[in-house]
Amino acid sequence: MNEHAAASAPVADEADVIVVGAGPGGSAAAYHMAKHGLRVLLLEKTTFPREKVCGDGLTPRATRQLIRMGVDTSVKAGWLQNRGLRVIGGGVRLELDWPDLASFPNYGLVRTRLDFDDMLAAKAAEAGALLRTGVNVSGPVLDDDGRAIGVRAKVGLEKEPVEYRAPLVVAADGVSGKLPLAMGLAKRDDRPIGVAVRRYFRSPVRADDDYLESWLELRSAQDRNRLLPGYGWIFGLGDGRVNVGLGILNSSSAFGRTNYRAMLTDWLATTPPDWGMNDEANADGPTLGAALPMGFNRVPHYTRGLMLVGDSGGMVNPMNGEGIAYAMESGELAAEVAVQALARPAGADRERALHAYPAQLKLRFGGYYRIGGVFVKMIGNPQIMRIATKHGMPHPMLMRFVLKLLANLTDPRDGDAMDRIINGLTKAAPSA
């Protein structure tokens, strides 16, 4: 149904841009837009602090985006810094430090989403964005040409209907993508998607680890010779707890046909008793899960007054399941485009500028995500995964190359031979 301006709900807080969703992508977009002088209205359906499932462990790519928002990432400021990735598989345990690059810091970070998202939303507000929580956006307000000119929402416990107006709307509403769906943008079935589940455990032995740990092989406690589908992770939170979880991709035959929570319990039963992860008494909260929309699985990223940022536009990296870095990068890019576009008069000239957003996203990530799609199909085959683990893991040089590729950490210019190979591959690959 075309939701026109003549609705009965009162109109409030008109702005230059409305950003729907105060997760990392929405807050980054709001921050950079406000910094450039735009009047930004940032709407969040929940109140802070609030729990989120994925993303406690951040790579240097995400760390760079935090620094660009003026966030203090020091240990004094409450962050747990990590040196790199510990990979376990094929009987090998390999510690790989994050690469030393001009373009990215050489450390990653850990912080729970409980206060991470709160911190970023506060940063956006400090920059000048007007943050409103408890605002549940139900759909766009459209003009006679089907262009988004605002959003409809229900506010507070009373669920009062309200409309907010702006010439540009940013959908940062996560996997559900309520706004894009209302604009006719459905998910693409030909793009990868993953599912992740995680749980917190009290584990003094593992809580202060300075590496993120990735398990390429998960074994069943019921039959140690049987490999479980998917991959796992363990990393400390620095507060006596660990984040433990597993992910599985839709290229696996087990996708959608597996009890992931039971599988996590089965795998953790194989871990050493002193880690505390095979004892329910050490659990801190339930096992929670989330979908990982990958490789631009919803497009176009701009249409009729609506820009898509982060999970709303399916921007999770297919190579490693990382979403926060790409949500924040797409938010910053959306801000750069929006500032230029809104400086132009409404009409064809402004639209031309706004269409630079999907073009720039494709240029930055399109080839890389296309390679990621091939990678997902390959590792979905257990035999290929077993061979790759067995023959790749014993070679540290090869694994350092793999780390750079999977984490998307290269210098665009003046990089080493590994950087040049990866950059060449992503440029040569057709855009996703």
The model's pLDDT over 10-30, given as tens digits with 9 standing for 90+, comes to 766 689 999 999 999 999 999
pTM: 0.94
Q: Is the pLDDT of residue 117 over 90?
A: yes
Predicted local confidence at residue 374, as pLDDT: 92
pLDDT band at 224 (very low <50, low <70, confident <90, very high): confident
Predicted local confidence at residue 226, as pLDDT: 87
Kind and range of the H or E element at 342?
helix 324-342
- Residues 337-377: tens digit of each pLDDT: 999 999 999 999 999 999 999 999 999 999 999 999 999 88
Structure tokens at 342: 């809104």
CA distance 331 to 170: 9
Predicted local confidence at residue 13, as pLDDT: 66
- Partners of 243 in the β-ladder: 200, 235
User: Measured between alpha carbons, how far is residue 196 from residues 119, 182, 226 in Å?
Assistant: 24, 26, 21
Predicted local confidence at residue 390, as pLDDT: 87
Q: Is the pLDDT of residue 3 over 50?
A: no
Q: Is the pLDDT of residue 6 over 90?
A: no
Q: Is the dihedral of CA 303, 304, 305, 306 positive or negative?
A: negative
Q: Is the pLDDT of residue 130 over 90?
A: yes
What is residue 138's three-state secondary structure?
strand
Predicted local confidence at residue 267, as pLDDT: 96
Q: Is the pLDDT of residue 32 over 70?
A: yes
CA distance 428 to 432: 12
Q: Is the pLDDT of residue 5 over 80?
A: no
